[in-house]
Amino acid sequence: LNPLASLSIGDYARIWIQDKEERGLRAQSLMRYHDELRLRFNPYLGHIKLRDLSKSHFFGYLRRLQSTGIGPT
């Protein structure tokens, strides 16, 4: 079993951002990633466990972004 599978998507995203910070990603980019995570990503997908993520979750998230004018139409 993959030990990451029990993490929520939001927790995994925070770990990913932390890794980017440790690797020297610019502060401005880190701020943007944190904002996107907090404002757009976590409210819709952040609570879902990685093992439970489905295509319908992902495409629902994309539709939500499109409905707010973000992403391809």
- pLDDT tens profile 10-47: 999 999 999 999 999 999 999 999 999 999 899 999 99
pLDDT of residue 73: 60
Asked if pLDDT for residue 64 goes beyond 70, the answer is yes
Cβ-based burial of 9 (10 A; exposed 0-12, middle 13-18, buried ≥19)? buried
pLDDT value at position 1?
Answer: 66
Q: What is the pLDDT of residue 72?
A: 67
Distance in angstroms (rounded) separating the CA atoms of residues 55 and 52: 10
**Across 42-63, average pLDDT:** 94
Cβ distance 38 to 17 under 8 Å? no
Burial of 63 (0-12, 13-18, 19+ CB in 10 A): exposed
